[in-house]
Chain A
Amino acid sequence: MAAGGRARAQRPNLDKMERMVVSMQDPDEGVKMRSQRLLITVIPHAVAGGDVVQWLTQKFRVSEDEALHLGALLVRHGYLYPLRDPRSLALRPDETPYRFQTPYFWASTVWPASELDYAIYLAKRSIQRRGALLDHEKGCAPRIWQEHYDQLQWKISHAWDLVVTQAREQLRAMKQRRRGDRLVITCQEQAYWLVNRPPPGVPNVLEQGPERGSCAASRLQTCKSLDFYKWEIEYARKALGRNRLKSSVCLEAYLKFSSQRGPHDPILSGCLPSNPWVTDDDTYWAVNAPTAATPTRLRVERWGFSFQELLEDPVGRAHFMDFLEKEFSAENLSFWEACEQLRYGGQAQVPALVDAVYQQFLAPGAARWVNIDSRTMERTLAGLCRPHRYVLDDAQLHIYMLMKKDSYPRFLKSDMYKGLLTEATVPVETKRRVFPFMRKPRHCSPSPALPTAGPGGGGED
């Protein structure tokens, strides 16, 4: 069954759960087993919910909360079932008795559960209800079973005689067994069906979402054709020729990056005046608005981290533009901006944008002529015959590097930048209000999708 096979491969967690329950049943290292008395019957090989949690806590060195959560997942997937109150698959961390599900009923063994089997199961329960019920079955919700029963009866009416015959046969065979075994088998079955046909309101743990791996590419993959190996060979050859950096160099870079950015990370270091999500006060956003008149100190500091950081901030970029104007090289930044517009703009605008850029920045005698080296200029001008969105990439990169290596370091050393740092604000911390009932109303903010009111409108307040 291909679909089932694929679904199986999708669930490595089932394998891991199964290995876990196997080790939990190890006679030496596993969970403490005990015999459980249920009224007049004694059921062997039962475990207490609390012992399961303890075992998981010790084995995986985790907190009790986490162990309880993990144990609960095992129960929800039907690998453990409660001996009492079997209608809900929950793990209670106390003396409540549980048993390990027989591998026959494991989620990975029999899937998907057939409608016919379910019908037989429901038929058995329906027949039994007219007879003497075992204690633990009384608590079951009969209405749900009845609903299912009716639906199924309608669905497979042609096979109904078979279903009823099978049900009667299974019940008769059960009567031959010892009381204790009957109880256990009933519990096992009940747990199995709770997993495979969850009652309304209970999430289906076996649900996977849309099927994966059904596309043509997957089928190609499994074939491992000539094309597949040719691709691998070509890729490996190219990769062998690539320059690689030593791990130590790369990893040191993370340390440096993280330590530099740590104080700017609100989750790590908090933020001033306060984190809006924690205090319901959105001053932090107002103070750090994209076009705020007086940027905060942290923000101005970030402009010094990298050229990219400076350009990405509209306020930073504006100040940099001012600086370039003083140095009579503002056309570089304008050219770069125009190239960005081309690269990320609509396809239909490409020819017009390319032409506009050429006229303004590249043509001989252009109003804002940019200084590119002759080779790049030649290549660019040649490419303009057939304009596409990447035709200015070389020129753009050249100008970008020029600004990054030359103008940007000068900007950081300039009086202008130093002045910005000193003038920058440092918001005062506001603590969370002490009286919870005096909750601050949460301010709405205008959606970016709202049309701006007019020439004067559209600013952040």
Chain B
Amino acid sequence: MATDGLHENETLASLKIEAESLKGKLEEERAKLHDVELHQVAERVEALGQFVMKTRRTLKGHGNKVLCMDWCKDKRRIVSSSQDGKVIVWDSFTTNKEHAVTMPCTWVMACAYAPSGCAIACGGLDNKCSVYPLTFDKNENMAAKKKSVAMHTNYLSACSFTNSDMQILTASGDGTCALWDVESGQLLQSFHGHGADVLCLDLAPSETGNTFVSGGCDKKAMVWDMRSGQCVQAFETHESDINSVRYYPSGDAFASGSDDATCRLYDLRADREVAIYSKESIIFGASSVDFSLSGRLLFAGYNDYTINVWDVLKGARVSILFGHENRVSTLRVSPDGTAFCSGSWDHTLRVWA
């Protein structure tokens, strides 16, 4: 027995050395192709003009911290979820509430709108992702038609429908992501590899539609092949939990927001981090990021109650938006890029344009 232990220690030590040497070689290979920085290339790009964005709508109705929101494809409706278990569907243009459902759990950290606009998905501390068909029938109780789709062994941190209402991708505090068939609740594929809670995910807008990126408490952002369940690329340059990941509109890169108070841009073809968006005066974590339609602007919501707007190409901060009275927990640009919506622990959502 003693010799087994010794053998395992030697193996562990030698594996560790091998892993580190390979990672070193990988960094060398990546560095060889890094011939220019983004801000250098962007010198010839015209600077952005005066930037004015204001709160155009304030949605009040949640009785507690707003944790997550998602837009409907109709460009005006949104679904939002909060700490007290309430999930509300709003027409944010008129600020009318159209549906409301109370989940049997608190901290509903994930919610998503189905592509058809006919259903929503949500989940949180119940470790599940449930789908609610949206009904206008006064006699029907939304909670009655609820479908339990995903089952994890820890909290649900993020969920997203794929190209249809019939599949859902989830991320969980149990360290895994999973793809589910909505109708049957069957697990279609699971994704293992994160060394800690997975906090966020985003589907790639690629034409072959097969990958997604996830970020976690292990400071890694990982790109997955949906079909095989394999991790195809991993990036580990953040210094703390990655709270949010979002693809650049062309699908060739993605941005991440982290508790280390920085947002970073990772290029998939160059296989490396290509930009850091940070400032000495920004010391609170970024909770949520999203791009404008052209990818020129990156909007990031922070735990210091502000939203910073970054020029993606030049790396400079374009503007800082005040308004929320507690941390900004979620931020999404509308499907047609006319506005973005932010949700906060101050119980409100704001639409900015």
Query: Hey, which bits of chain A sit against chain B, CB under 8 A?
Result: 10-13, 16-17, 20, 56, 60, 62-63, 65-67, 69-70, 73, 203, 209-210, 212-218, 220-221, 224-226, 228-233, 235-237, 239-240, 242, 244-255, 257-262, 264-268, 271, 275-278, 282, 284-285, 288, 306-308, 340, 343-348, 389-390, 393, 397, 400, 442-445, 447-450
Q: Out of A231, A255, A444, name the residue touching B193 (CB < 8 Å).
A: A231
Other A-B contacts than A232-B22, A442-B94, 10 sampled, CB-CB below 8 A, are: A229-B16, A229-B18, A242-B271, A245-B270, A265-B292, A265-B297, A267-B333, A282-B93, A284-B338, A346-B166
List the A side residues contacting B196 at CB < 8 Å: 212-213, 215, 217-218, 221
List the A side residues contacting B301 at CB < 8 Å: none
Do residues B274 and A250 form an inter-chain contact, with CB atoms below 8 A? yes
List the B side residues contacting A212 at CB < 8 Å: 173, 196-197, 199, 217, 241
List the B side residues contacting A56 at CB < 8 Å: 281
**Complex interface residues of chain B between 167 and 203 (CB less than 8 A to chain A):** 167, 173-176, 181-184, 186, 188, 193-197, 199
Q: Out of B53, B181, B261, B297, name the residue touching A347 (CB < 8 Å).
A: B181
Report the bound CA distance from A172 to B166 in whole Å: 70
Do residues B296 and A285 form an inter-chain contact, with CB atoms below 8 A? no
Knowing A224-B16, A226-B11, A276-B93 are in contact, say whether A261-B294 is a contact too (CB < 8 A).
Answer: yes
List the A side residues contacting B272 at CB < 8 Å: 247
List the B side residues contacting A346 at CB < 8 Å: 166, 181-184
List the A side residues contacting B37 at CB < 8 Å: 247
Do residues B36 and A257 form an inter-chain contact, with CB atoms below 8 A? no
Do residues B29 and A247 form an inter-chain contact, with CB atoms below 8 A? no
Report the bound CA distance from A244 to B32 in whole Å: 10
Do residues B249 and A261 form an inter-chain contact, with CB atoms below 8 A? yes
Do residues B25 and A265 form an inter-chain contact, with CB atoms below 8 A? no
**Complex interface residues of chain B between 323 and 338 (CB less than 8 A to chain A):** 325-326, 333, 336-338
Do residues B45 and A255 form an inter-chain contact, with CB atoms below 8 A? yes
Report the bound CA distance from A214 to B197 in whole Å: 8
Q: Out of B34, B154, B293, name the residue touching A215 (CB < 8 Å).
A: B154
In the complex, 18 of the A-B residue pairs with CB atoms within 8 angstroms, ordered by the A residue number, are A66-B281, A70-B281, A73-B304, A214-B173, A215-B174, A250-B269, A250-B274, A257-B250, A262-B296, A276-B93, A277-B351, A277-B353, A278-B56, A344-B162, A344-B164, A442-B93, A444-B96, A449-B119
Do residues B173 and A264 form an inter-chain contact, with CB atoms below 8 A? no
Q: Out of B293, B313, B333, name the residue touching A261 (CB < 8 Å).
A: B293
List the B side residues contacting A218 at CB < 8 Å: 175, 195-197, 217-218
Do residues B174 and A216 form an inter-chain contact, with CB atoms below 8 A? yes
Query: Hey, which bits of chain B sit against chain A, CB under 8 A?
Result: 8, 11-12, 15-16, 18-19, 22-23, 25-26, 29-30, 33-38, 41-42, 45, 48, 53, 56-57, 72-77, 91, 93-94, 96, 98, 107, 109, 116-119, 125, 133-136, 153-155, 162-164, 166-167, 173-176, 181-184, 186, 188, 193-197, 199, 205, 207-209, 217-218, 227, 231, 233-234, 239-241, 248-250, 252-253, 259-261, 267, 269-272, 274, 279-281, 283-285, 292-297, 303-306, 312-313, 320, 322, 325-326, 333, 336-340, 345-346, 351, 353
User: Looking at chain B's contact residues, is the secondary structure mostly helix, strand, loop, or mixed?
Assistant: loop
List the B side residues contacting A248 at CB < 8 Å: 35-36, 41
Report the bound CA distance from A235 to B134 in whole Å: 43
Q: Out of B76, B154, B184, B284, name the residue touching A214 (CB < 8 Å).
A: B154
Report the bound CA distance from A210 to B83 in whole Å: 10
Most buried by A among B98, B118, B197: B197
Complex: chain A residue closest to B199, CB-CB: A212
Do residues B294 and A257 form an inter-chain contact, with CB atoms below 8 A? yes
Q: Out of A13, A216, A247, A271, name the residue touching B34 (CB < 8 Å).
A: A247
